[in-house]
Amino acid sequence: MVMNRGTAFRSVVMTALWAMSPAYLPNSVALVVGGGPPIDGGRFWRGARLLGDGKTWRGAIGGFLAGVLLALGLNQVGTRSAGSLPVFPLRAALSLPAGAMLGDLAGSFLKRRIGRERGAPAPVLDQLGFVAGAFALTRLVAPGWFRSTFTAPVTVAALLLTPLLHVVTNALAYVVGLKEVPW
């Protein structure tokens, strides 16, 4: 396939968004379906909550399931369009959302350790914790797929686009009243 620079750029951005979306969706879904018992059961560790009230079972499980369904749904669309978009093997369909939710939990764990209350902003941690989790777990369970999908340009695009998307979707969630703070 012959590609000019514009086409190549678009294809890198599309691949990054496509491949990352099962890791992006869980956060938004957790925000909508979250609530109920916190994962840490209200426990404290060294004077601060282990995770905090913002990390609930409902949010984590609902977000995970939504991400898995999205990956499986994208597989149907992608196969039909017969393009160059990545197809998610089951392992990746599971590890992207699971890693995202675990990374998000790890981010909150670290936030509590550095004395940030639930909902307080922690730039970088807030935007990239879930990406680090999704990357790490997927590299572990689907290494071949990870390597062939997240080439250097796609990884760079994902790392640049994620904070941007995260900031925009959180601001939107704040505007429509889903979030109490815009981050």
Shortest Cβ 97–ligand CTP spacing (Å): 11
> For ligand CTP, which is the closer residue by CB, 19 or 125?
125
Judge contact between 93 and 22, C-beta under 8 A.
yes
Q: Please, what is the minimum distance in Å from the beta carbon of residue 128 to ligand CTP?
A: 12
Least gap, CB of 51 to ligand CTP (angstroms): 7
Told to check if 56 binds ligand CTP by CB under 6 A, we report yes
Whole-number Cα distances in Å, 54 to 77, 89, 117, 130, 131? 34, 31, 10, 15, 18
Tokens of 20: 């990352």
Question: What is the signed CA dihedral for 14, 17, 20, 26, rounded to 10 degrees?
Answer: -150
CA distances, 69 to each of 62, 74, 82 (Å): 11, 8, 20
Residue 34 makes contact with ligand CTP by CB under 6 A: yes
Residues 59-78 touching ligand CTP, rule: CB under 6 A, are 59-60
* Chain positions contacting ligand CTP, by CB under 6 A: 30-31, 34-35, 52, 54-56, 59-60, 104, 108, 111, 118-120
